[in-house]
Amino acid sequence: MWRVEIAPHTPATPHSLTREEVFVVLDGVASVVLDGRRSTACVSDAIVVPAGVELALSNDGDLPLRLLCCLPVGGQGRIDGGAPFTPPWAE
């Protein structure tokens, strides 16, 4: 589990994960594209990302976006169908 802060007007980096990941919005508004469906998530909303489903999470607003992220031990990311990698904060 860790906290993430995304600066205002930061575009998304589409990616998927090898394990389910859950985000909880602490501050700001998240722009979310999950499995091709666009939505927004506000303070106290949870974003549940199933393993293997592409996620694009961005901050289109004028304020920082702060999230709490939960990923099981051993979870890895994958960008654009490439090889799985361990996120730097999990090393």
Give residue-wise pLDDT tens across range 56-84.
999 999 999 999 999 888 888 888 878 88
Does pLDDT of 90 surpass 70? no
- pTM for this entry: 0.87
Average pLDDT of the residues in 2-24: 93
pLDDT at 36: 92
Torsion of CA 44, 47, 34, 50, to 10 degrees: -170
Q: Cα angle vertex 26, ends 42, 68, to 5°? A: 115
**In the chain, % of residues over pLDDT 90:** 73
- Give the residue with greater pLDDT, 22 vs 76: 22
